[in-house]
C-alpha cells in the first residue's frame, strides 16, 4: 500500500471517529442490541428502524476506540436506506474482507474498504467488527435466524 493511500485511509478513519455519523439513540426503533468487546472494553449499542424490509434509520452509541467508532459510523452510512438483504450482503462482504485475503469491491463497501489493513492487526479486528456483529444480530432477529 502506498504512503499516500495509507494517509488517505487514516484520514477517513479519523474523520469518522471524530465526527461519527448517526451517533446517538433512535427515538423510534424496531430493535436494538448492545455488544461489548471484552478485549479492549469497547461497548457499542446499535438501534435500528426497519419498515417493509428496509432499514429506514440506524444509529449507534457507546464508547470505543477510534477504529470501533469509525467502523460503526461507516457501517451506519452504508446500510441506512438499504434492504435487510442488502445490509446482510454488505456485512458478509465486510467480514470476508477483514478475515481473508479477498479484496473488496470498493464500489460495494465504500469507506468500509479503508479498514482492509486491519487484518494485519489481529487484536484490532474485534474493534472493527463490533458494530457489524450487532447489525448481524439485529438482522438475524428480523429474519428469525
Cβ 94 vs Cβ 87: under 8 Å = no
Q: Tell me: pLDDT of 3 over 80.
A: no
- CATH fold of 3-142 reads Sufe protein. Chain: A (3.90.1010)
Q: What is the pLDDT of residues 102-121, one digit of tens each?
A: 777 778 898 898 888 888 88
Q: Which residue would you say has higher pLDDT here, 144 or 111?
A: 111
Band of pLDDT at residue 92, cut at 50, 70 and 90: very high
Distance CA 41, CA 43 (A): 6
Residue 106's pLDDT is: 73
What percent of the chain has pLDDT above 70?
93
pLDDT of residue 114: 86
d(CA 64, CA 87): 23
Band of pLDDT at residue 5, cut at 50, 70 and 90: very low
Does pLDDT of 40 surpass 60? Answer: yes
Length of the chain in residues, anyone? 145
Tens digits of per-residue pLDDT, 44-84? 999 999 999 999 999 999 998 999 999 999 999 999 999 99
The whole model's pTM is what? Answer: 0.90
The residue ranges of every structural domain in the chain are 3-142
Closest CA to 39 of 98, 127, 115, 135: 127
* Number of helical H runs and strand E runs in the chain: 5, 3
Amino acid at each position: 500500500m502506498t504512503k499516500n493511500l495509507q494517509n488517505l485511509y487514516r484520514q477517513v478513519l479519523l474523520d469518522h471517529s471524530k465526527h461519527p455519523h448517526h451517533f446517538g439513540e433512535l427515538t423510534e426503533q424496531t430493535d436494538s442490541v448492545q455488544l461489548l468487546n471484552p478485549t479492549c472494553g469497547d461497548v457499542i449499542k446499535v438501534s435500528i428502524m426497519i419498515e417493509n424490509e428496509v432499514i429506514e434509520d440506524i444509529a449507534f452509541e457507546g464508547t470505543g476506540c477510534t477504529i470501533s467508532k469509525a467502523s460503526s459510523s461507516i457501517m451506519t452510512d452504508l446500510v441506512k436506506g438499504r434492504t435487510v438483504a442488502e445490509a446482510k450482503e454488505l456485512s458478509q462482504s465486510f467480514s470476508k474482507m477483514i478475515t481473508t485475503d479477498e479484496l473488496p469491491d470498493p464500489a460495494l463497501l465504500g469507506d468500509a474498504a479503508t479498514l482492509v489493513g486491519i487484518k494485519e492487526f489481529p487484536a484490532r479486528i474485534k474493534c472493527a467488527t463490533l458494530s457489524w456483529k450487532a447489525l448481524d444480530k439485529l438482522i438475524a432477529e428480523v429474519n428469525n435466524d
